[in-house]
Amino acid sequence: MNRIVLMGRLVRDPEIRYSNAAEPTAICRYTLAVNRQFKREGEQDADFINCTCFGRAAEFAEKWFKKGQLVAVEGRLNIREYTDTKSNERKWYTEVVLDNQYFAESKASFEGRQQSGGYDNSGGGQPAPARQAPQQQQSGPDSFFEVDANMDDDDLPF
């Protein structure tokens, strides 16, 4: 089984491009900073995971996700191999190809943190407990909200 579930903060705004096919497909890429649960002295606090999504999900991410925002994603690990044309070396690119993406904090929480200029380090960057299904809606300011690519702007909770 190849299944990845991550929660972290966007390192920068998502970038979108379109394929050159007869019917262009949106391709969105972004990087998540996922806090490590344990840290050894001298190691970085987070892992930086490349994420890719396609189609309407890509357009949604590009429109609504912003740098610093806490999001949760589900997908599969994908490792591509290529040959660098400059050095003629074989290289690998690791990414998570997304099936689902979720807001993991409220708009008010995100905007409040942006205005204060800092991040809430009260565990918000830690993965959700495994027993919680991402589709469940919870009450509270930092509850999950499933992202539906078919949503109109009027359907969004913010």
42-53: pLDDT as tens digits: 777 899 999 999
Tell me how far apart the alpha carbons of residues 60 and 149 are, in angstroms, rounded to a whole number: 6
Residue whose structure tokens are 């999504």: 53
Domains defined for the chain, CATH in brackets: 4-155 (2.40.50.140)
CA angle 21, 23, 32 (to 5 degrees): 75
The helix (H) or strand (E) run that includes residue 86 is none
User: Which stretch of 40-44, 105-109, 124-128 has the lowest confidence by average pLDDT?
Assistant: 124-128
| Overall average pLDDT of the 32-51 stretch | 88
